[in-house]
Structure 1
């Protein structure tokens, strides 16, 4: 018994792109393109009606962008998986899409075979990322990992609250000289030269809340 075809909805504001994708899937019995959307708002509406297994979602579209559409589908509780297919792989594009609930993220220059395998994986609920996107996410994870020790983080938090070295020494039950050593280590690890810069970088890296 053959498995039912994977129902695919294509969301892209460029007719040529939609035609190309439809033509690519047309020759494959394991896929069925059940609809096309020219913007995010239409994609959400069609996803509710047609219940596709996978939506191929562009990000930059009129009326409603792809990230908003992905978030809206998640809010509606749709079982549809969203596979982003775009030309943009910058961090400002990738992270919001993943955070909104996209199952995968591919670039439009991906070979057709890779795209089809990605759609199949997305239909199973597996995460799919293009190599360049995966590298960007790994780089972001490395950036957000704390370079500071637990004690250095304590000192940085006290600095952020306005504490002097003497205040920190009293609060942490250590000598003022030890606090100064921790501060110098913080400066070195965060590549800064003063307390204000250390606090600013701490917030940028998510070390401080």
Structure 2
């Protein structure tokens, strides 16, 4: 598994490179100091996964993730950050990240999550999962642009797999976002969601 690390703290970047590089099935192909460098290294090295910090100079991790996923949909992005606020989590997942892990995670856990991501799973720290699964107190219909795209896919009868392919998201991310959407709209299932969509048109 080819891994690219993006973190503006040189100590963090080199430490992760050293520690994760000891894993027999992980090859660290580069360390980027910002989002622009991450994009350039994706172009030259074609990693399988990018371990991406959120707050970086020049270009942050969320903007970089959007670009990477638009240019190379097959490259998976796992956010690794100290920030556990709901806004950053939702922005990261909305940008196409397939996982969100806190820097407090152990190296063993990190390596295990990278392997899970490579196998197609969505990786969310348990604390992060609790945050995004908490119902959002927003007006009915207060969806993000990405959430509206998912609702439109459901209304058109697409499966999670088809939606994930269309929006360049993992199936797990689509599944998680559907749960959030149903909570926001106070609906029970996909059928109610589709009816809601067409009644609003």
TM-score of the pair, normalised by structure 2: 0.68
Q: Which has the larger radius of gyration?
A: 1
1:100-145, CA deviations, whole angstroms, 9 ceiling, x for partnerless residues?
1001100000111110011111112210000011011111437514
Contact 2:53–2:80, Cα closer than 8 Å, also in 1: yes
In structure 2, which of residues 44, 56, 69 is the aligned counterpart of residue 74 of structure 1? 69
In structure 2, which of residues 186, 193, 196 is the aligned counterpart of residue 146 of structure 1? 186
Which residue matches 1:162?
A: none
Which residue matches 1:154?
A: none
Contact 1:86–1:107, Cα closer than 8 Å, also in 2: yes
Distance in structure 2 (CA, Å) of the matches to 1:37 and 1:20: 13
In structure 1, which of residues 84, 88, 108 is the aligned counterpart of residue 83 of structure 2? 88
Which residue matches 1:114?
A: 109
> SS of the counterpart of 1:118?
helix
Q: Number of aligned pairs?
A: 145
Distance in structure 2 (CA, Å) of the matches to 1:133 and 1:71: 20
Q: CA deviation at 1:78?
A: 3.9
Which residue matches 1:194?
A: none
Instruction: Indicate whether 1:59 and 2:99 are aligned.
Output: no
Distance in structure 1 (CA, Å) of the matches to 2:86 and 2:130: 10
User: Which structure exhibits the higher relative contact order, with contacts defined as CA atoms closer than 8 Å and separated by 6 or more residues?
Assistant: 2
Contact 1:48–1:78, Cα closer than 8 Å, also in 2: no
Distance in structure 1 (CA, Å) of the matches to 2:127 and 2:49: 22
Q: CA deviation at 1:26?
A: 2.4
Distance in structure 1 (CA, Å) of the matches to 2:122 and 2:74: 15
Contact 1:40–1:66, Cα closer than 8 Å, also in 2: yes
Contact 1:81–1:125, Cα closer than 8 Å, also in 2: no
Flag the 1:90–1:50 CA change in 2: closer, same or farther, 3 A.
same
Q: CA deviation at 1:38?
A: 0.2
Contact 1:67–1:97, Cα closer than 8 Å, also in 2: yes
Distance in structure 2 (CA, Å) of the matches to 1:16 and 1:78: 29
Which residue matches 1:12?
A: 7
Distance in structure 2 (CA, Å) of the matches to 1:143 and 1:80: 30
Instruction: Give runs of ≥4 in structure 1 deviating > 2 Å.
Output: 140-143
Instruction: Indicate whether 1:124 and 2:119 are aligned.
Output: yes
Distance in structure 2 (CA, Å) of the matches to 1:115 and 1:26: 12
Could you say what the CA RMSD is over the residues aligned between the two structures, in angstroms? 1.9
Which residue matches 1:38?
A: 33
